[in-house]
Structure formats: structure tokens, C-alpha cells
């Protein structure tokens, strides 16, 4: 049975030294990029597979539905992976479906709506709906460690501190 060693939300998906460092985490042998648009675009899919292969890890680019199927049917086989999505909504949907993860790193989310999105850390904008999803994952779906950290050398911000900004 496979294991998600680390889940990450980062709009950049696989990029530079961050992934090089994260992919060295103990036990990791693969990177799962879960994104509808990237998985359906051959050029983008190949681009991310190539970027991931530079870490020395097998890189699998799939849609959210395929990720659910792959978990339901194969429990991610023997892959001990870093699972990356661009949005909190996708990771939330996977967790609610039953894809288990204990650690979730929020790395980089750009502002979409200036009226709803708050800058909660140096590299993360979050709206209240996504903050509530993170809280729900932590309290009801076994995602024990949710934190905000753009790069492995940057300071971490806790979910608790971020939720305070939304009065949660």
C-alpha cells in the first residue's frame, strides 16, 4: 500500500529547489501532481513529468478523478509520494473522498479576489471558504499537521494562527 508522505498546495506545482529539497524527505519515491488542466494537456503533462524527474523521483500527473480511482483501486500501489495540487479545493475533495494524508503544507497561493482573499503568510492568499476547508480537514478527516511554508527554509505558520485571521 502506498503512502502520502506529504501533501502540498502550491500553484506552481513542481518548481526548483523547493521540490528538490522536499523530494529528499525520508521514504519518498514519487511525486503525484493532481491537476485537471495539466493532466489533460500533453505538453504541460510532459513538462511537469520532466521537472519531477530532475528530483530523481517518478512523477505521475493525473486528474483528481484519476487520483481517487488510483487510491480506491490500488491504494497508490507502493508509491510513497508527495502529492501536489494547485488549490485547497482539490486537496479537500481528495481527503473527503478518503485519500488519507497526515501532513499538509500550503506553499503558494496567489490572490484571486481582492475583496475575499487575505494575505495570511508571505506567499499565501486564502479566502474564508478555503480556511474552513482546512479546518474541517484538520478536525474531521485526520490531516493532523497543516502548516504554511513557502520553502523548506522559510518559517512555518500554523493553521491555528491562520484561522485566527478569519475568526475561526
- Establish if 119 belongs to a structural domain: yes
CATH classification of the domain holding 60: 3.40.35.10
- Give yes or no for residue 14 having a pLDDT over 90: no
> How much is the mean pLDDT over the chain?
93
| Domain count within the chain | 1
Q: How far apart are CA 86 and CA 105, in angstroms?
A: 12
- Give yes or no for residue 87 having a pLDDT over 80: yes
pTM metric for this prediction:
0.93
Mean pLDDT across the stretch 16-34?
80
- Establish if 168 belongs to a structural domain: no
Residue 36: CB atoms within 10 Å: 15
106-142 pLDDT, tens digit each: 999 999 999 999 999 999 999 999 999 999 999 999 9
On whether the CB atoms of residues 82 and 23 are closer than 8 A, the answer is yes
Q: How far apart are CA 16 and CA 107, in angstroms?
A: 13
Amino acid at each position: 500500500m502506498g503512502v502520502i508522505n506529504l501533501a502540498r498546495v502550491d500553484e506552481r506545482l513542481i518548481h526548483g529547489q523547493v521540490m528538490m529539497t522536499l523530494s529528499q524527505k525520508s521514504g519518498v519515491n514519487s511525486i503525484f501532481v493532481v491537476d485537471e488542466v495539466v493532466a489533460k494537456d500533453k505538453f504541460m503533462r510532459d513538462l511537469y513529468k520532466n521537472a519531477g524527474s530532475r528530483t530523481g523521483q517518478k512523477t505521475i500527473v493525473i486528474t483528481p478523478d484519476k487520483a481517487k480511482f488510483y487510491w480506491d483501486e490500488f491504494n497508490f500501489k507502493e508509491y510513497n509520494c508527495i502529492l501536489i495540487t494547485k488549490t485547497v479545493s482539490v486537496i479537500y475533495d481528495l481527503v473527503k473522498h478518503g485519500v488519507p494524508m497526515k501532513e499538509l503544507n500550503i506553499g503558494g497561493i496567489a490572490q484571486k479576489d481582492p475583496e475575499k482573499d487575505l494575505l495570511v503568510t508571505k506567499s499565501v492568499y486564502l479566502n474564508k471558504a478555503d480556511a474552513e476547508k482546512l479546518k474541517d480537514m484538520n478536525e474531521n478527516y485526520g490531516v493532523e499537521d497543516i502548516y504554511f511554508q513557502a520553502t523548506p527554509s522559510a518559517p512555518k505558520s500554523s493553521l491555528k494562527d491562520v484561522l485566527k485571521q478569519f475568526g475561526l
